[in-house]
A and B are shown apart, each in its own frame.
Chain A
């Protein structure tokens, strides 16, 4: 019987739960013995010119080896030239006037931007000395929020003419598709800035080992780190080694290596000293990239029979102080704008704006949750306007199951989907009819505890860079063990369990004899990494492909050893024994077969890439109770169908869904990065940034649904981000639904008690 699809307990956990993981700052590698501590001096101003840096007092402190500033960075390659991109529709410009320095030289653009580093024998000395580095600023007007940035009264980058490095806005707006609609609804929607907040904040160590600059970094992909470092430091990749030890969560913010960590690597190269850096939580909440941060304007039109005829989404992306990945997100948002609906007309536009805030980058979903949030809110607004049940409106507009592969008006090609079935399943599991009846009873009773039921249906894009593929090398040795070298980079997902299951399934080598190795550029020079819900479909398919190649080679060896035709050789994957068909006496083990091969090993070194991305989908129902006197929302139930194709291991898939739903609920109800009018962060501690905890969440009710794709041999799509994408709008819709009878039609996220209360008050006043 195949092990695939069964509930295999994570093999990673015994170690993590007993002795504990080894994260960057726990490393006790001999090369890091006596490593110095690096502490950042960060900007305390959102926007200012730097007129002087005085480190003399810090340098007199005990234990201070050096204070380095941009002036010391004379050993770096020149910044990238002005790129082709930018302006209308081009790629995000990162060179020329838009260049992001390593240490800020003459200007700072966000609170938390690195200005200098202090190198000390110990961490405590570093914090004390960093306080003594005095920076003189000449304040500039802070650009807070994307709207102010677009208005362009103060520019962030001299030599540019606006704060909009890239945009895609049509010359003229065609409103005619809305003209024939019975009903047209418009709404401004805020998709607020949130913190990525991995449990392990950023950490990097660096040392020269055998002449190689070796970087230990908490990352989602060692190989991309090395590529970025090579470019930034002007070194050949093979002069460097990047090692990724255990990683305590990434959520997109740890894709590659960011500016602060590059500075650590540079400082090691510059001083020749082994260095360690591990940021504090306060540093993390201003220094680590953040997510979402979009402003939406939606316009939706249709007929009273529930048919939607036209939809427009205009996006302004706040990308923070520098046009990093944030500039790329609204393109994905616009691509996924139509969601699960077969719409005759879809229009999108976006503008990317730089602001005096922490840079924006990928965060669980990266551009897709924003698209789903916009259309799912728009559909609910439309449903409310025509007085039709929101589930019914969805049903009347889904892409029909016989239309796949389905090309959207925005240029996506959905591979497979059963949107109506997903909705029916989730409504049945939630007991939708009974919930509506209970809601009606409560409304009639009129007490302060009202019920809200929110529906969202979604489709998302996973492995958007399917063509980049993923690597896998599988080695079966003459002791019967197998080792997988994977380009995927687990940081909580359970790849070690999953990849071993794939090997056992194909080769019959038991999981406990399979070792999985990732995150070391010396061992795996070629790899892409774990992000964008790509790993199982690309990295897992690569392991599967490698196992098939090893099996073919094993068959060849066994045929030689047993003096039989290859066609007559069979592998029993229950026992891992090779034999001539029908002759049990001929059984050979993997150890024997590998021993017969040259070098005593069977090796397959492969890459798997897919032709196109996959499109998981699902439907969520959230049930909330709103205290109409205080505005407080309690999430009572959350029921989901998340269909990402066949499930390899339900334990892992459910874990991804749970975490995703929790993070989605967090955005809907609690989390928001805030700045004051001068661009000072107001949420730089966990007392102020309201991260969600288990006590705010119910037990999730997960319904299974498995619609395969044909784009990879496992038939799988990605599940890492789906929970986040589906849950946020379901919960937001539920909150609005709970108070809709009081005249409320929209509440922005996070639906904090005060915001809900204010919406009720405002509706009452009208």
Chain B
């Protein structure tokens, strides 16, 4: 519960963060809200030698309306996403889901960029951003590039970000029918991570904790596209997934939950729109 020792640098700008990252290479880690990285360090599962604190980069904390899309700075706290009137109006799924992350203290520290960059399949927002067809903007020494959410999550805790690359913003297109959403997070306790979660926007379905990366429920989406009823789509929601077994749930139970929750989410999204 006490991390190994590390050197600490606080970046005053995104540029400084990038040059510090370049200087320290593989030994360095960005620290945003710290709510995923610090627990790993305290348990000594991670022991970066250099910490580059980007937590105070206010230039990367914003939610702006770009007409057809909304741009969200990577350092925007879950609390600010949850309480954004713009998001509540245009993309209620995202505002609602941000309000389901952990508890109020966690939402005041954790950032949307940290949630995405961490690449944890159990996190809420990655699956939500998949269902929203978001694009992630990354800045490295070579410049800026855009990565579609569907290509971002590579494997457990592994993303398309190159070492030293900084996730700067997330671009979320406004859904055709913003009201057609549902977020089903199944937990034992309110504070818990999802055992399984489902995010639905229109007919796109994101799955939380159903494999080593956040997923789209491809088979269920295909069934809907083929005009099959919700119950039939839900019945194939777990196909093509590979959830793990752990002390919180077995694989079979996770698959069952995915079917139940996808059914409920699709029903709710339809009843809302």
Contact = CB atoms under 8 A, between A and B. Distances in A.
Nearest to A695: B190
Chain A CB count within 10 A is highest, among B2, B190, B191, B192, for B2
B188 A670 contact: yes
Chain A CB count within 10 A is highest, among B5, B188, B250, B256, for B188
Contacts of A696: 189-190
B1 interface: yes
A341 B123 CA distance: 50
Contact of A693 (B43, B191, B256, B261): B191
A682 interface: yes
Given A688-B247, A757-B256, A124 B5 contact: yes
Nearest to B260: A629
B189 A692 contact: yes
A630 B258 CA distance: 10
Interface of B: 1-2, 4-5, 39, 43-44, 186, 188-193, 195, 247-250, 253, 256-257, 260-261
B247 A757 contact: no
A459 to B, nearest CB: 32
A145 to B, nearest CB: 15
Contact of B250 (A124, A632, A754): A754
Contact of B249 (A123, A682, A754): A754
B188 A690 contact: yes
A690 B2 contact: no
A757 B189 contact: no
Nearest to A130: B2
Contact of A127 (B2, B250, B257, B260): B2
Contact of B43 (A682, A685, A754): A685
Contacts of A695: 189-191
B191 A282 contact: no
Contacts of A513: none
Contacts of A726: none
Interface string A645-686: 000000000000000000000000010001000000011010
A72 B188 CA distance: 47
Contacts of A754: 249-250, 253
Interface in A740-766: 752-754, 757-758
Interface string A448-478: 0000000000000000000000000000000
Interface in A710-766: 752-754, 757-758
Interface string A348-387: 0000000000000000000000000000000000000000
A682 B245 CA distance: 13
Contacts of A443: none
B198 to A, nearest CB: 12
Given A683-B247, A688-B247, A282 B260 contact: no
Interface string A96-131: 000000000000000000000000000110011001
Given A281-B1, A630-B260, A693 B253 contact: no
Nearest to A755: B253
B157 to A, nearest CB: 16
B2 A124 contact: yes
Interface of B is mostly: loop
B257 A630 contact: yes
Given A685-B43, A757-B253, A670 B1 contact: no
Contacts, number: 53
Contacts of B256: 757
B253 A280 contact: no
A692 B2 CA distance: 25
A682 B186 contact: no
Nearest to B184: A630
A131 B3 CA distance: 12
B188 A752 contact: yes
A693 B1 contact: no
Which 6 A-B pairs rank lowest in CB-CB distance, beginning with the nearest? A280-B1, A695-B190, A127-B2, A754-B253, A629-B260, A682-B247
A116 B50 CA distance: 31
A127 B257 CA distance: 41
Contacts of A690: 188-189, 192
A127 B260 CA distance: 46
Contacts of B39: 687
Nearest to A682: B247
Contacts of A758: 253
A701 interface: no
Given A127-B2, A282-B43, A674-B247, A753 B260 contact: no
B78 to A, nearest CB: 17
B189 A670 contact: yes
B110 to A, nearest CB: 15
Given A282-B1, A682-B247, A683-B247, A632 B186 contact: yes
Given A682-B247, A687-B193, A754-B253, 20 more contacts: A124-B2, A127-B2, A128-B5, A280-B1, A281-B1, A670-B188, A670-B189, A683-B247, A685-B43, A688-B248, A690-B188, A693-B189, A693-B190, A695-B190, A696-B189, A696-B190, A753-B253, A754-B250, A757-B253, A758-B253
27 contacts: A123-B2, A124-B2, A127-B2, A281-B1, A282-B43, A283-B1, A629-B260, A670-B188, A670-B189, A674-B247, A685-B43, A687-B193, A688-B247, A688-B248, A690-B188, A690-B189, A690-B192, A692-B189, A693-B190, A695-B191, A696-B189, A696-B190, A753-B188, A753-B195, A754-B250, A754-B253, A757-B256
Contacts of B253: 753-754, 757-758
Contacts of B43: 282, 685
B46 to A, nearest CB: 14
A693 B1 CA distance: 22
A688 B249 CA distance: 12
Nearest to A281: B1
Interface string A621-653: 000000001101000000000000000000000
A123 B261 CA distance: 46
Contacts of B248: 688
A758 B252 CA distance: 10
